[in-house]
Amino acid sequence: MKRTITHLADGRELFYFDRDDAADRGAIDGRDLPSRPPASELRYDPLTEEWIAVAGHRQGRTFLPPASECPLCPSTPGHPTEIPSGAYEVAVFENRFPSFSSQTGDYSQVGGLSEVRPGVGRCEVVCFTSDHDSSFSRLSADQVDLVMEAWIDRTAELSATPGVEQVFCFENRGAEIGITLTHPHGQIYAYPYVTPRTRLSLGAAERHRERTGGNLFADVLAAEREAEVRVVASNEHWTAFVPAAARWPVEVHLYPHRQIPDLCALEAAERAAFGPLYTDVLRRLDGLFGVAMPYVAAWQQAPANVGRDLSYAHLELFSIRRAPDKLKYLAGSEAAMGAFVNDVLPEETARLLRSVVTE
Q: Please give the annotated binding residues, written as ranges.
A: 70, 73, 132, 183
Sheet holding 41-45, edge to edge: 50-54, 41-45, 116-118
Chain centre to alpha carbon of residue 112: 34
For helices 346-355 and 268-288, angle between their N-to-C axes, nearest 10 degrees:
100
CA separation for the pair 249, 289 (Å, rounded):
12
CA separation for the pair 146, 152 (Å, rounded):
10
Can you give 35-58 as a three-state secondary structure string? CCCCCCEEEEECCCCEEEEECHHH
CA separation for the pair 122, 83 (Å, rounded):
19
Count the neighbouring beta carbons within 10 Å of the beta carbon of residue 225: 15
* Catalytic residue of the set 7, 57, 79, 185: 185
Query: What burial class does residue 133 get, using C-beta atoms within 10 Å of its C-beta: 0-12 exposed, 13-18 middle, 19+ buried?
Result: exposed
185 is catalytic: yes
Which amino acid is present at 213? G
Q: Are 273 and 237 in contact (CB under 8 A)?
A: yes
CA separation for the pair 91, 103 (Å, rounded):
22
**Residues tagged in the binding site annotation for Zn(2+):** 70, 73, 132, 183
3-state helix, strand, coil in the chain (%, to 5): 30, 25, 45
Q: Of the candidates 150, 177, 166, 155, which has an alpha carbon nearest to the alpha carbon of residue 1?
A: 150
Structure letter (DSSP) for residue 11: S
Torsion sign (Cα): 62, 65, 68, 74: positive
Question: Which residues pair with residue 234 across a beta bridge?
Answer: 239
Which residues are identified as catalytic? 185
